[in-house]
Structure 1
Amino acid sequence: MKKIIALGILALSIAGTASAQVKPEDQIKYRQAGYSFMAWNMGKIKANLDGEYNAQQVQAAANAIAAIAGSGMGALYGPGTDKDIGNRKTRVKPEFFQNMEDVGKIATNFNAAAASLAKAAAEGDKAAVQKAFGETGGSCKACHDKYRAD
């Protein structure tokens, strides 16, 4: 248990340090790029599920999603990234920064869903990928519904 707590503290301190080293406008730019890349890969998986299924393409896309989801993107929500900066626009709602415990739960669920998607894709079972894909999309939607402005 002490190891888990120590790892959690280490992860938070690294995330805090990372956000302190990146300008707020760049934090917004980088997190938007990460989400755009994940969305593109979700689209590739959806196309495979709706059409001819290519297990290698699905696995590559699922691995990319899981990698980005587990990359520590929380560090890109540092102070000052709750509003537009210069020409860098953000759609994150202020409530995001006021409900960090809830955001943490949503992020944990998303990371777990993305990891499950990658695992299902590695096994190559289209039905399992379909289920995991739905769960991953649902975990994205959970955050968008609460904390993303239209």
Structure 2
Amino acid sequence: MKKIAQLLAAGLSLAVLAGTASAQVVGKTEDQIRWRQSAYTTMGWSMARIKANVEGTYNKDQVIEASNVIQAIANSKLGALFQPGSDKGKGWEDTRLKSEFFTDKETLGKVAGTFGKEANEMAKVAATGDAAAVKAQFGKLGEACKGCHDNFKKKL
């Protein structure tokens, strides 16, 4: 399972090769939307794995694996897949990105910075094996995710 998580994290990092908005644009808009949807689906699965561990029988190795995947995605320069105009269109499904993503740079910087910080901290805390500390940090990470959802993701 550890190898699968490492390969998945490496694959996601390769899929989002580009850096910030100044990086070379890779792929068509539909591809960019699909790639970022895939990354967020993988992150959601990893969050669910951590949640299952903090609410049920705790398995340190599973939490470390899931935390490392989240950290890899958070540090993968995923922002390069948010090119102007990618708030419209379809990847695997219609994008739910709000157009405010491109205009509210102050909020975007704050929520992106918080998410990166909390994802990195989640990996550090997971490595300790302290279930109580993991649960507390998982709450902070969830709040960081919510910050972006609340500001930049359309509700269904």
Aligned length: 137
Aligned to 1:68: 73
User: Whose helix proportion is higher, 1 or 2?
Assistant: 1
**Letter in structure 2 aligned against 1:111:** G
Q: TM-score normalised to the size of structure 2?
A: 0.82
Matched residues in 2 for 1:49 and 1:64: separation?
17
Query: C-alpha displacement at 1:87, in angstroms?
Result: 7.2
**Letter in structure 2 aligned against 1:99:** D
Matched residues in 1 for 2:33 and 2:91: separation?
11
Aligned to 2:34: 29
Tell me the percent identity.
47
Q: Is 1:120 aligned to residue 125 of structure 2?
A: yes
Aligned to 2:23: 17
Aligned to 1:131: 136
Find the residue that maps to 1:17 and give its secondary structure. Answer: coil
Please, which of 100, 105, 108 is the counterpart of residue 100 of structure 1? 105
Note the alpha carbon deviations across 1:74-124, whole angstroms, 9 max, x for none: 101012201124875100111111112321211110010001110000011
Find the residue that maps to 1:149 and give its secondary structure. Answer: coil
Q: TM-score normalised to the size of structure 1?
A: 0.86
**Letter in structure 1 aligned against 2:129:** G
**Which 5+ residue runs of structure 2 have no aligned equivalent?**
1-17
Q: Is 1:144 aligned to residue 149 of structure 2?
A: yes
Residues 52 and 128 (structure 1 numbering): CA distance in 2 closer, same or farther, change over 3 Å? same
Larger radius of gyration: 1
Q: Is the 8 A contact 1:41 1:61 kept in 2?
A: yes
Q: List 4+ stretches of structure 1 deviating above 2 A.
A: 13-18, 85-88
Matched residues in 2 for 1:47 and 1:88: separation?
27
Find the residue that maps to 2:151 and give its secondary structure. Answer: helix
Residues 32 and 118 (structure 1 numbering): CA distance in 2 closer, same or farther, change over 3 Å? same
Aligned to 1:5: none
Find the residue that maps to 1:21 and give its secondary structure. Answer: coil
